[in-house]
Structure 1
Amino acid sequence: MAEQNILFWERQRFKQFWLWVVVLGVASIFWGGFVSQVLLGGGFGNNPVYSVQVVLLFVLMGLGFPIFFYSMKLTTVVQPGELQVRFWPFHLRPKRIPLHSVRDYERITYHPIREYGGWGIRWGFRGKAYNMSGNEGVQLHFYNRKPLLIGSQNAEKLFEAIRQAKEMKG
């Protein structure tokens, strides 16, 4: 299989400071319980659970929760005639969007919380969105389904790459 010409490639991660404060704040509660009950031998809380349960919760929430958020990434690739979006770990394979199914597209500035309820894989009144941070992206309008927003830190370059890829038609 010949390597396709990549017109645009972007990988994004969650980088909002407030999000990491929340994630690490939740994890720190489980770190505290682990240290207090398992390492220091005391009880954690008024009605402590078994140490095995504390270890399990520590592994899941104290370690797993932050690692899960850190591992999330949104990869966007534009090739002739096709756009690929992959939101790891939810998409094991990229979602392929043939550009011939795109009726129109526009570079937009949007309100992530008001219009889509936040960042991630989101559904709103304006359709579906894949976004990680920021408030810019390219909205795709299809012939046969609701619009799709692809958030980007380089929305202008993404828009231009889609224009070129649509003209090239694979």
Structure 2
Amino acid sequence: MTEQKIILYREQQRFKQFWLWIIILGAASLFWAGFFYQVIERGKFGDNLVSDAQLVILFALMGLGLPYFFYAMKLTTEVLPGEVRVQLWPFHLRPVSIPMHLVRDFRPISYSPIQDYGGWGIRWGHKGKAYNMSGNEGVLLLFYNRRPLLIGSQSPHKLFEAVRLAKDLKPEQ
């Protein structure tokens, strides 16, 4: 029989910035238009033509693949006794584990994603490393022997309380 670990907190986030989706869908729509006009309607799309086969590949990659890639991307944060796990799928196939005994201090913060970390996703900035998807709040973890780590959250105070509890509890074996 397998033992299940106690999850103190779990959150999944996706990109939900309206402006980001306008850019992604705007770029994808160019490939949709080119595919429809050249492959379906049999017209000529643009001055520097590509073959129908090349356009089908570009349509699949950029018209379908790019929007799906951003839709499927998700940041999962889990807090367990003695451990915090962060996974930004598809970049992490397995969660990144952060043992709480390495954490010196932690606090909920508001931050500027672009100024402090250069945007959203897995970011490195002058204030350390960040895992964030949207918004400007999270929990900052301070370590004994490395740079700080920010975990973005839509519920930073709940995440903070779970991290506080995880720090007090011993890891499960």
Residue 12 of structure 1 corresponds to which residue in structure 2?
A: 13
Q: What amino acid is the match of 2:131?
A: Y
Name the structure 1 match of 2:128: 127
Q: TM-score, normalised by structure 1?
A: 0.99
1:92 is matched by which residue type in structure 2?
Answer: L
Question: How far apart, CA to CA, are the structure 1 residues paired with 2:156 and 2:21?
Answer: 24
Cα distance, 1:169 vs. partner?
2.2
Q: Which residue of 1 aligns with 2:84?
A: 83
* Aligned counterparts of 1:127 and 1:68: Cα–Cα separation in 2: 26
Q: Which runs of 5+ in 1 are unaligned?
A: none
Letter in 2 for 1:71: A
3-state SS in 1 of match to 2:61: helix
Give the 4+ runs in structure 1 shifted more than 2 A. none
SS at match of 1:164: helix
Return the alpha-carbon distance in structure 2 between the equivalents of residues 128 and 33 of structure 1: 40
User: CA–CA distance in 1 between the matches of 2:69 and 2:22?
Assistant: 15
Contact 1:81 1:98 in 2 (8 A): yes
**AA paired with 1:84?**
R
- Give yes or no for contact 1:136–1:152 (8 Å, CA) kept in 2: yes
Matched, 1:46 2:47: yes
Q: C-alpha distance in 2, partners of 1:16/1:47?
A: 34
In 1: Cα distance, 2:150 partner to 2:170 partner: 21
Q: 3-state DSSP class of the match of 2:30?
A: helix
Q: Distance in 1 between matches of 2:170 and 2:110?
A: 27
% identical equivalent positions: 64
Shift of 1:87: 0.2
Instruction: Give the 5 Å matches for 1:93-132.
Output: 93-132=94-133
TM-score (norm 2): 0.97
Any idea what the Cα deviations from partners look like across 1:95-116, whole Å, max 9, x if unmatched?
Answer: 0000000011111000001111
Q: Contact between 1:133 and 1:151, CA under 8 Å: does it hold in 2?
A: yes
**Matches of 1:112 and 1:43 in 2, distance apart?**
43
Partners in 2 of 1:14 and 1:166 — Cα distance?
29
Opposite residue 152 of structure 2, the aligned amino acid is: G
8 Å CA contact 1:99, 1:169 repeated in 2: no
The alignment partner of 1:2 has SS state of coil
SS of the residue aligned with 2:145? coil
Query: RMSD of the alignment, in Å?
Result: 0.6
What amino acid does structure 2 have at the position aligned with 1:154? S
- 8 Å contact kept, 1:86–1:94: yes
Partner Cα separation in structure 2 for residue 95 and residue 47 of structure 1: 45
Alpha-carbon distance in 2 for matches of 1:169, 1:157: 20
**Structure 2 equivalent of residue 163 of structure 1:** 164
> Counterpart amino acid of 2:20?
L
